[in-house]
Structure 1
């Protein structure tokens, strides 16, 4: 079992490499992976089920212990990223299908990868977990509502249908995971060690499926989408950090909020795009590329922050 855990940790640490590798293979051999699109919602459900199994009461105690920091993190998540997405769409005058995809990923909650990156960055991991948990639980209401508000000018948006979809692929699996943990805690502890590997495989498969199914669109608009995604992600980190410092959060908390805001649950964006915009496959591409990019930028940012000591930064709390 120790060898398997070492293998799991290796896969986690090299996650970005596998995403890039299989995305490249999908571009070369799209027919070999396009069939995976039919299973995207199931794969996301498995990831959310695993997230539910890893949740504990302590995760939600963090909300009570740091309500100000959690509130700032969650508000920034649902204000900064959707607003940036909308501004970038207008600034770059993106085509409707791409604009909707960019706004969709901007309206998604924080992803679980942010918790690992916050730990690597020597930020407040407990705060990151609390923010992810709260934003995920609020997603069924806030994601479709904000998305409808910002994206309906481009395409017709069915917010009610999207609400139901998020319940099905996010909230229900998380609740089932929580129930499973409460019923058979000892067995779950063993399975939890396997879940990171399963999550990595599922996310790589989701990204690969979208890349394979959108090869033509990527070849036509891939550079533009990549540029927008890089800006969106970088500005998310920046504004998340600034918001934290504006409200005088400690440095470790500010790092956690910045990472939480900048890293999205892009898998959810892919699933929602596949479900609700199947006629426009390119709509899912921004989420797929975001998943690829933030797993490169996140570790890079974490490495930078981890290398800095608090004493090097004047007047830090």
Structure 2
């Protein structure tokens, strides 16, 4: 069952609002901050863009998931987190400046990594599926319009009208959360039979994937000899993914147009916040 026109429109608008909100919080300085802490940025990007897709591929093959669910994991693995990762870095006393810089760089890089990784992954994973593998251009151009343009618009407002940007950040963030909730609930409604049938099994695998992501972030940050605040930031950045973007890629008629692919992203969007909250409580208890 495909998403109806209203849901597709809401999802596309939601993705644009999220990217616009990220742009409102960014400046040119956030992109050149890599010169300030190169090891930390390199560690975060390595874990996000190399480690996470590889971990998703290994886990899906280890548990012999269907081609559709396996590709769904690859989609969520290639969609780096948005502004909520900056919020959690602040709440967990991480390095907020590093978090913002990683968000900025990862958002732009993902425009190029998502098409390449998913084009290859779809060819690899969909050999025994009715779904058709997509070429790079079919994935790149919708993302260019829905991700890069709103991001640039938000940054322009931040640079020209900082007062406007400050005033727009909170309502934009609130609207983004509401749209994520709508998207998750609607896909759950469309694919409720699959959630009932596979939810238990996929829930454990999604949980394992999240734990793998956070452990990967920690190990890479530790290997890069980052301080505790930077380690926490890298863990959060790698663990939190952009659920709305992943669901859009899975369900949009411009891309894969199959809500089944969105099932892992929906589960991840729910569970990642639960586990991040648990991590927050643990860090508070340990006074870290």
TM-score (norm. length: structure 2): 0.90
Supply the distance in 1 between the matched residues of 2:201 and 2:136 (Cα, whole angstroms). Answer: 27
Superposed displacement of residue 137, structure 1: 0.6
Aligned to 2:130: none
CA–CA distance in structure 2, aligned partners of residues 146 and 99 of structure 1: 13
Determine the structure 2 residue equivalent to 1:154. Answer: 125
Aligned to 2:167: 190
Change in CA separation of 1:205 and 1:124 when aligned onto 2, cut-off 3 Å? same
CA deviation string 1:269-316 (max 9, x = no partner): 1011012222x3210111111111111111211221233245xxxxxx
Report the CA distance between 1:181 and its aligned residue.
Answer: 2.4
Q: How does 1:60-99 map to 2 (within 5 A)?
A: 60-99=31-70
Give the alignment partner of residue 153 of structure 2, picking from 163, 176, 179: 176
Partner of 2:141: 164
- Check the 8 A contact 2:27/2:159 in 1, yes or no: no
Which of 16, 19, 22 is 1:48 aligned to?
19
Structure 2: any 5+ residue segments left out of the alignment? 127-132
Q: Quick one: distance in 2 between partners of 1:305 and 1:58?
A: 30
Q: How does 1:183-262 map to 2 (within 5 A)?
A: 183-262=160-239
Task: Provide the residue aligned with 2:286 in structure 1.
Answer: 308
Equivalent pair of 2:94/2:229 in contact (CA under 8 Å): yes
1:71 partner SS: helix
For 2:260 and 2:73, locate their aligned partners in 1 and report how far apart those are by CA, in whole Å.
Answer: 10
For residues 110 and 182 of structure 1, what CA distance do their matches in structure 2 show? Answer: 23
Tell me the equivalent position of 2:129.
none
Give me the whole-angstrom Cα distance separating, in 1, the residues matched to 2:231 and 2:251. 34
TM-score, length-scaled by structure 1 = 0.82
RMSD: 1.8
**8 Å CA contact retained: 2:20, 2:150:** yes
Pairwise CA distance, 1:149: 2.8
CA separation in 2, counterparts of 1:209 and 1:169? 21
Secondary structure (helix, strand or coil) at the match of 1:193 reads helix
Could you tell me how far apart the structure 1 residues matched to 2:52 and 2:224 are? 18
Pairwise CA distance, 1:36: 2.7
Query: Are positions 1:291 and 2:269 aligned together?
Result: yes
| Cα offset, 1:244, TM superposition | 0.8
